[in-house]
Structure 1
Amino acid sequence: MFIRSLCLLVGSLFATFAFAAERDAVSYVNPLIGTQKSAIGYGGTMPFVTPPFGMTNWTPQTRQNKISITSYNYDDSTISGFIGTHQPAIWMGDYGYVTLMPQTGELRTSPEDRKLPFRHDKETSRPDYYGVFLDTPDGNKIHAEMTATERCAMLRFHFPKSGAARVLVEASRPGVSGYATVDMQDHEITGYNPHRMDAHLGPYKLPNFKGYFVVQFKQTPIAARTYGMDDGTAQSSRGAYAEFGAGETADVRVGTSFLSIDQARSNLEHEMPEWSFEAVKQRLQTAWNEKLSRMQVSGATDQEKTRLYTALYHALLYPRIFSEGGHYYSAFDDQVHAGESYTAYSIWDTFRAENSLLTLLAPERIDGMITALLQNYKEGGWMPKWPNPSYTNIMIGTHADSLVAEAVRKGFHGFDRELAWQAVYKDAMTPPDGDLTRRWLDREEHTPYEARGGLTYYKQLGFIPTDKTDEASSRTLEDSYDDWCVAQVAKAAGREEDYRFFLHRSLNDRHLYNPELGLMNGKTSDGRWAPIGGPRDTPGNRSVSGWTEGDAWAYTWAPLHDQAGLIQLMGGAEAYDAKLDHHFTGGHNVHPNEPSHHYGYLYDFGGQPWKTQAKVREIAAAEYGYDAGGLDGDDDCGQMSAWLLFTAMGFYPVNPASGEFMIGSPMYSNMTLKLSTGKILQIEAENNSPKNVYIQSATLNDKPLDRPVITWEEIQAGAKLHFVMGPQPSRWASDWRPNLISDK
């Protein structure tokens, strides 16, 4: 009996371990990470139910979202709806959204009146599913569930056995001329929402813009009506509702579109042909697992895997698809075109690492994403810097140049390279309208497209003067990097003269180095040094010192392409490293904001890679957590998450368009990436632990590696990186130095 019991116990344990080993990647994701303000920070994320790069994201709505406020906040205790949103980041607005809300009892249409309490212990959040129990005013509960496809959602509302049951569909908000209508015969509520929260930021009115929706019910409603008829016509209805019998389950599917109501219905027919919640959920789970499982990790706890796979989930949300059935609405000429499109490019943030991560994990999307930017160029005159979905003029530089240069460098050919050259050349050579009369204030309303604000002065003086253009110092440094990117596109196109011209101009960053300060420093139009600015430059003094969301410390190492030049300006590698020491010990590194993201890796350039190894581990531990408050700073369309993922693997794209990755300190004993080529990138870290952060030796494909760099080609070939880790710094790779750019 004892032997039999022992065998059963061993068998049970084996089954348990086998189950644990077979746990799918999506089960580790916690979409609530980043939704709560904590001691670490606030990520501004939302628990989206959506496929990778989904056009419409679905989330519970605990507050009315707007610019600077997201739909969901973990600290809230009530839910007022389930919204199909297109808001990509906390400081961007929504557009064309639609909201559904189940309720019992009397009709309540306003968010404040219709909200219902919930508890997090009665909430389930996954990329493929969201479920929650809502407390009704009479002490009962409504069980609400969601799953989704690229452009559609399926919701299921389980109503209590007493009281009227109702599903509210909010087309728009007060003051917005939305539209909703009811078709009882087809069990449908259809309509549109023309609201664009960022409309005040761009130059275009876009009268044709609408977010269309079709809501279908599986069960036959008892009744259905519109509400909010401000002037007695259907054209001003704010929404509609359908009523059901007590105790019923209402199965609902929602199609969204930016083309038409008919297209929203067509999206439903193609993406949700059957009334099966479980089938839709399973397909979504499979889609996420296919992507997430391309990354595998050993030597990480379940908690650490949750942090990693959640970061990968966040990174695979953007840019989002913006086309349907082979067509797309262009928010740049207000017309419908044939083709594929994407939007929600937070390029000032994402050009640094997020886009590089996509070249590794979603390379099948890159040609379409670059093509979308080039289509925007044809339709609006410029590649956008932050489409949402049109021009918003948010942030500085024309870093679409970097995305194009990176795609060219990495051998992507599925876009029009000649058109790409025309687009980056215009960015680099054509000043925006009114360049000499506008200061190009941050988020200045109703301006022409900003492109490179201050380019006129940049071409004349070699820098942008702080007394003429806002954020001038940051612009000079970032435009210099973009010039380097344009030079690379020219070189690939065989335009040698253009290559030399832009390579020379990419060294304009050196004009701002102030040797007395040992830092970059803005200049006025007469060539004098501008005031250096405070530790966190505010909008009020950007015109004085010239920085964007930072200061001289945050921007001195900003020329991603010219670290060798900076080493020379500072008087050598030792001085460069000493200044970096001061940067970190002085509290100048602000990881929640993107200009600091590459700083931990810069010791590689100065011959002290052991400091990079310690610093990136330190940043990862301090800035990223494991629960709802575990993200320090806005995720910014995946950039914060991409930093963590690269750092966990042990390398980072300091200059993303160079095709080179600087080596840090791999965080786990083994990580692998399954590449689209079928090859496997394997990163092994022997003796790895939280204390053993220092690389003692390294090999690449079993051959000694003595440089802190790995290239795109080495990765794509299926590299095997092997590190031996230890608790003390070593001199590994300390003799390597970057090449100085020569424009001769």
Structure 2
Amino acid sequence: MKNLLKLAIVLTSVAALAGCGGDDHPTQSGTNPGDTNTAPGNGNTGTTPPADAQRVNLPLTNYVNVFVGTDVATTGGGFSGNTTPGAQVPFGMVNFGPDTASGTPGGYAYTDSTISFFSLTHLNGPGCSGQGGGGGLLPSVSSAQIDPANQGHNIVIGDGSGKFDHANESARPGYYKVMASNGVTSELTATTRTGMARITYPASSKSNALLVVDATVSTDNHTSGSRPGTITLDAANRTVSGTSIVGSFCGGTWNKPVYFYAQFDTPVTSASSSKNGVAILQFDLTASKTNAVLYKVGISSVSVANAKANLIAENSGWDFDAVAANTDTIWENSLNTIQVDVADPQNLAALSASQQTIAKNNLTQFYSAFYRAFSGPTVYSDVNGDYRSMKQASLSENDGSSFPVRATANISKDDTFQGTNGKTVVPAAHYSSYSIWDTYRSLTQLQALLFPGISSDTVQSLVADAKQCGALPHWVDGSDDTKPMEGNHAPSLVAAAYAFGAQNFDTATARNYLIQSQTDPTSSCNNMLSVGRVSTSNDASVIPNWLNSGFIATATPASSPFHTSSVTIEMVTADRSVAAFLSALPTAGTDQTTINSFFQRAGNWKNILNPQTNTLQALNASGQFTTNANAGCNSACPGTLFHEGTEPQYFWDIEHDYTAVIAAIGGNSAAITRLDNLFGIDRSAGFPPASAPPVSALNGGMNSNQFYIGNEPSLVDPWAYNWTGSPQSAQYIIPQIMKQAFLVSPGGLPGNDDLGATSTWYVWATLGLYPVVPSAPGMAISTPQFSGMTVWLGNGKKLRIETDQQAMLNNAPYIKELKLNGQTYNGSWLPLAQIANGGTLSYTLSATPTNWGTAANLTPPSGPNADYTKSVAAPSSASGVTATQ
């Protein structure tokens, strides 16, 4: 087995050493047999966690259901989670999985009964189609031929090879298996940059085992020949290589290449290929003991040669089971970053039979959500550090069905920077796949807290992208920037990562780009303005309007696809993020004037709050309110005020200024009433209400005036109660949302997962914490849903969360008492510094509402320039709050 697996994986840096804590980028010894590769980008940098961070892994992959979110939500909202069951390691470049007939953005729809092909790249939970595919693969046992009538463009397969039944399908993290109706069983697994398949043919088809490789299909277009892929077949040496073209994502401008190099372990009896990108391989397995063909493939954004190098470095052997087992170990290590006590088989067995059933469901929900938090960003650089540059030389180039030629970047040149110790820092990898509008609200903070090394590298990747394309991008897909959502989101991601501990990136260069993106009307990543409309064209910037007027005026004509109220909120959030980031840097003293201006603009939400209606509206160029503030909106209704949402859903997105927002609408009582209306809470007969809100009030959809957990602007809303003097209301509604809107089923996600953003909300809610202000170093407190959880922080320390009873099992959602490291803690805001080096949060819970955290002097910090390192806005020695606040 020498050199069996050279799985040099950046991804295992999450927690690669069995028994280690959450420190990332550790050494790989003991994880990858025979791996001695220490080339840049292979994740072999970093340190072993401190001794106090040693742990014993629990068996957690069994609690992951990878099919959750593969169907339209059964709890409302109207959208699918768009997740994929494909095989992937944490943050892996490769997601080797099925593309089913309907062609969903994630590639797979649970309602489909036909697999068009297996391909090598997929995004988890995107809301738009485009990126995905590469190296399409499909087995057959009957007949397959390249259609000569269409000059080799189309592949004709005669046996309905893709038909399947879910009864013959299974998957777990890093592994997918399906038996088609023709009797062929396909098993898939992955490393960071490679995929591996074991295709087992029925005994009756030993002499006619076929394998089709089609480089001309992609996730967004299943028709063979839809794009001009290339194939080079070397039957004698059992290799096939080529180039696939995947589409631009959600209104992006340019397609992108996926280069692949594949090997198969069985001699071919016949082979044919077309110059247009299709190859058919036929095998005679009469003498085979397993009736199986092994197929392994590396990919690259740069070249076939790099794809081959990736394959050699990460999977040089032919043991499918060993690769799958190693991938499973990687996932166990990653998921054990958060350990729930009841997942220990002994603890689970101690529960009653009925409680075990509920606990297993809750554990599956939690770990399925946590699993999806590792789906992006994804590694984009090869084992030698190469990746395709973001710089587009000709912005007017229209690539049609092809893709533009780009320069090759390398992390050792393009991503390096000078660290605080004066030494050159070379990141372990360059990353892509950033759904920033979504992930800055929940995912970024969790990844920075648990994996600061990886998180720092993901931020540095954005900085490198900006240096290449001219500005921080919006939604990075491969080597392209797209703008599916309005506003400027990268500042909040950068500030959030920094606030939660991911600080090993080029902060000086990041500083310049953050300021530029919010103040320079020409700031643009290739053809995408930092602040402009959702468009592929470089149309007019709204920055002058923002700087001069303090709001984004409604556009002319009224049908312009620009949602002025929601983008104003996004600008307010971005300004606060820039100010917070600059304030935390060593240069803060010299930047104070600039910082003050950003903090001041972070209060501009007041300009669009109509005091007559207490609703957020929009202003025309003359500063007059216009348009119905409650007008619904979706992607097909341009001209309304809120992008993919309504005014009630967006109202609480001014999270950095809740105290002022609450005062502006009439105080705590008015705010509680407004929140109750949002969630469908009826207090007429007391609190808690006699009946829970219906799921229609918790996942109402983008046209509803009630809560919509299926889209990111609503994620923060439940914790707003903490600022109204009613934290018990948050403690009540959060588990209601968890139980009603999230299920363990294909339709169990309330909306698009958006690379883990929605799932991470569930993770935070389970922990009883949430990063309400994206750029602030702290979290709002709610009730932990399990009685014992250990969170292994990125510095090797551990945060222990304990309660006296299981909140979900015992229906005890309310906090009666909280102690931090044995000392009474009464505020409902937890500064990150309080637990940055570990510690213990101990809760006493109650089945009935309590007054914990309700006193006026326990109101959490609030304001653009508030000190979020404090536990309360107005500390008092009489409040019982610890003196460290």
Q: d(CA) in 2 for partners of 1:69 and 1:414?
A: 33
**Which residue number corresponds to residue 453 of structure 2?**
364
SS at match of 1:561: helix
Instruction: Give the alignment partner of residue 64 of structure 2, picking from 29, 32, 55.
Output: 29
Tell me how far apart the structure 2 counterparts of residues 87 and 112 of structure 1 sit (CA, whole Å): 30
Residue of 549, 553, 563 corresponding to 1:461: 549
Return the letter of the residue paired with 2:120. Answer: G
Alignment pair present for 1:144 and 2:186:
yes
Q: Note if contact 2:96-2:190 (Cα within 8 Å) is conserved in structure 1.
A: yes
Structure 1 match to 2:661: 566
Return the alpha-carbon distance in structure 2 between the equivalents of residues 84 and 220 of structure 1.
23
Q: CA deviation at 1:456?
A: 1.8
- Tell me, yes or no, if structure 1 residue 741 matches structure 2 residue 863: yes
Which of 495, 510, 513 aligns to 2:606? It is 510
Cα distance in 2, alignment partners of residues 295 and 374 from structure 1:
30
Q: Bigger shift: 294-303 or 713-722? A: 294-303
Pick aligned residue for 1:290 from 328, 333, 339: 333
**Distance in 2, Cα, partners of 1:106 & 1:387:** 40
Q: Which amino acid aligns with 1:354?
A: L
2:784 and 2:264 map into 1 onto residues whose CA distance is 50
> 1:740 offset after TM fit, Å?
4.8
Deviates more, 1:612-621 or 1:509-518: 509-518
Per-residue CA deviation, residues 502-550 of structure 1 (Å, 9 max, x unaligned), is: 111111111111122112111111111111244532446542x421111
Equivalent residue for 2:196? 154
User: CA-to-partner distance for each residue in 1:430-465, whole Å, 9 max, x for gaps?
Assistant: 12489xxx9999643x31388xx5222111111001
Matched, 1:345 2:345: no
Query: Matched residue of 2:625: which SS?
Result: coil
The residue number in structure 1 matching 2:86 is 48
Residue number in structure 1 paired with 2:52: none
Counterpart among 154, 161, 166 of residue 120 in structure 1: 166
Contact persistence 1:314–1:641 (CA under 8 A): yes
2:869 matched residue in structure 1: none
Where does residue 710 of structure 2 map in the other structure?
592
In structure 1, C-alpha distance between the alignment counterparts of 2:746 and 2:497, rounded to whole Å: 35
Give the Cα–Cα distance (whole angstroms) in 1 for the partners of residues 330 and 227 of structure 2. 36
Report if aligned partners of 1:393, 1:443 keep a CA contact under 8 Å in 2: yes
1:37 to partner: Cα distance: 2.4
Q: Contact between 1:80 and 1:114, CA under 8 Å: does it hold in 2?
A: no
Per-residue Cα deviation, 1:408-434 (whole angstroms, up to 9, x for no partner): 323433211110011101111012489
Aligned counterpart for 1:317 among listed residues 353, 363, 375: 375
Q: Which runs of 5+ in 1 are unaligned?
A: 1-20, 228-233
Indicate the residue corresponding to 2:671 in structure 1. Answer: 576
Which among 282, 293, 301 is matched to residue 243 of structure 1?
Answer: 282
d(CA) in 2 for partners of 1:362 and 1:409? 13
CA distance in 2, matches of 1:128, 1:439: 36
| 1:185 counterpart residue number | 236
What are the residue-to-residue correspondences of 1:478-517 with 2, within 5 Å?
478-491=570-583, 492=585, 493-494=587-588, 495-517=591-613
- Code of the residue aligned with 2:88 in structure 1: it is T
Aligned to 2:565: 473
Find the aligned partners of 1:240 and 1:169 in 2 and give their Cα distance.
5
- The alpha-carbon deviation at position 199 of structure 1 amounts to 8.2
CA contact (8 A) 1:394 1:442 kept: no
The equivalent of 1:15 in structure 2 is none
Displacement after TM superposition at 1:253 (Å): 0.5
Deviations 1:542-584 (A, max 9, x none): 42x4211112111222112111221221232222222222222
Give a deviation string over 1:300-355, Cα, whole Å, max 9, x none: 72222111111111111111111112121123342211103111111111100011
Residue 777 of structure 2 aligns with an amino acid whose one-letter code is: G
Conservation of the 8 A alpha-carbon contact between 1:682 and 1:721: yes
Counterparts of residues 68-217 of structure 1 (less than 5 Å):
69-88=105-124, 89-95=126-132, 97-107=134-144, 109-110=155-156, 114-136=160-182, 141-163=183-205, 164-173=208-217, 174-198=225-249, 201-202=252-253, 205=254, 209-217=256-264
Say whether residues 1:646 and 2:764 are aligned partners.
Answer: yes
Q: Which amino acid aligns with 1:291?
A: S
* Separation of aligned partners in 2, 1:549 and 1:199: 15
Q: Following TM superposition, by how much is the alpha carbon of 1:707 offset from its aligned partner in structure 2, in angstroms?
A: 0.3
SS of 1:563 mapped into structure 2: helix
Supply the distance in 1 between the matched residues of 2:595 and 2:279 (Cα, whole angstroms). Answer: 59
Q: Does 1:523 align with 2:649?
A: no
Once residues 759 and 499 of structure 2 are traced to their aligned partners in structure 1, the CA distance between those partners, rounded to angstroms, is 24
Q: Secondary structure at the residue paired with 2:672?
A: helix
- For the 8 Å contact 2:163–2:180, the answer to whether it is kept is yes
Structure 2 residue matching 1:305: 3-state secondary structure = helix
Give 5+ residue unaligned stretches, structure 2: 1-55, 146-154, 218-224, 343-357, 393-405, 412-428, 682-696, 698-705, 867-885
Aligned CA RMSD, in angstroms, stands at 2.4
Counterparts of residues 717-732 of structure 1 (less than 5 Å):
717-732=837-852
1:242-278 Cα offsets, whole Å, 9 max, x none, are 1101453111101111111111111110000111101
Give the aligned partner of residue 377 of structure 1: 466
Q: Which position in structure 2 is the counterpart of 1:414?
A: 504
Aligned partner of 1:664 in structure 2 is 782
Q: Deviations over 1:271-292 (max 9, x none)?
A: 0011110111111111111110
Question: Which is further off, 374-383 or 551-560?
Answer: 551-560
Instruction: State the partner residue of 1:11.
Output: none
Between the aligned partners of 2:367 and 2:107, the Cα distance in structure 1 is 23
Deviation at 1:585, TM superposition (A): 2.3
SS at match of 2:656: coil
2:96 maps to what in 1?
58
Q: Is the alpha carbon distance of 1:22 and 1:481 closer, same or farther for their aligned partners in structure 2, counting shifts above 3 Å? A: closer
Kindly provide the amino acid, as one letter, of the partner of residue 733 in structure 2: K
Q: Deviations over 1:27-72 (max 9, x none)?
A: 221111111225225311110211000012111222263xx54321
Q: Counterpart of 2:643?
A: 548
| SS in structure 1 at match of 2:96 | strand
Partner of 2:198, secondary structure, is strand
Identify if the C-alpha distance between structure 1 residues 418 and 698 changes in structure 2 by more than 3 Å, giving closer, same or farther. same
Amino acid at match of 2:189: T
Number of residues paired by the alignment?
700
- What letter matches 1:577 in structure 2? I
**Residues in 2 aligned to 1:95 and 1:74: alpha-carbon distance in whole angstroms:** 18
Tell me how far apart the structure 1 counterparts of residues 532 and 500 of structure 2 sit (CA, whole Å): 35
Amino acid at match of 2:266: Q
SS of 1:500's partner is helix
> What's the CA shift for 1:682?
1.1
- The one-letter code sitting in structure 1 at the alignment partner of 2:407 is Q
Normalised by the length of structure 1, the TM-score is 0.90
Report the Cα distance in structure 2 between the residues aligned to 1:290 and 1:111, rounded to whole angstroms.
41
Distance 2:802 2:851 in 1: 20
The one-letter amino acid of 2:519's match is M
Shift of 1:704: 0.4
State the Cα deviation string for residues 74-131 of structure 1 (Å, max 9, x = none).
1222223211123442414124622111101110525897543222222120112111
Find the counterpart in structure 2 of residue 699 from structure 1.
819
Distance 1:63 1:675, change over 3 A: same
User: Cα distance 1:356–1:330, how it changes in 2: closer, same or farther (>3 A)?
Assistant: same
**Which residue of the other structure, out of 714, 719, 728, is the alignment partner of 2:834?**
714
Answer yes or no: is the 8 Å Cα contact 2:439–2:493 preserved in 1.
no
1:654-695 C-alpha deviation (Å, 9 max, x unpaired): 112101100112111111111222211111121333321111
